[in-house]
Amino acid sequence: MYTGRCLCGDICFEYDGPIGPVALCHCSQCRRAHGSAFSASAPVQKVRFRFVTGEDKITEFESRPGKYRGFCSRCGSQLYSRVDAIPGILRLRVGCINEPLNKGAAHHVFVGSKSDWFEITDELPQFEKTERTNDPH
Domain of residue 50, CATH code: 2.170.150.70
- Is the pLDDT at 4 greater than 50? The verdict is yes
**137 within a domain of the structure (yes/no):** no
Residue 89 lies in a domain: yes
Q: Is residue 42 domain-resident?
A: yes
Q: Is 96 within a domain?
A: yes
pLDDT tens sequence across 74-117? 999 999 999 999 999 999 999 999 999 999 999 999 999 999 99
Instruction: Look at residue 86 in the predicted model and tell me its pLDDT.
Output: 94
Angle (nearest 5°) at CA 99 between 68 and 18: 60
- Asked whether residue 132 is assigned to any structural domain, the reply reads no
Tell me 109's DSSP state: E
Is 68 inside any structural domain? yes
Count: domains in the chain: 1
Dihedral of alpha carbons 109, 83, 18, 71, sign:
positive
Q: How confident is the model over 48-86, as pLDDT tens digits?
A: 999 999 999 999 999 999 999 999 999 999 999 999 999
CA geometry: angle 4, 110, 5, nearest 5 deg: 10
User: Quick one: 105 exposed, middle or buried, by C-beta within 10 A (0-12, 13-18, 19+)?
Assistant: middle
Domain that holds residue 46: 2-127
Residue 77 belongs to a domain = yes
Q: Where do runs of H (alpha helix) occur along 1-137? A: 28-34
Identify whether 58 is part of a domain: yes
- Measure the CA–CA gap between 15 and 29, rounded to whole angstroms: 26
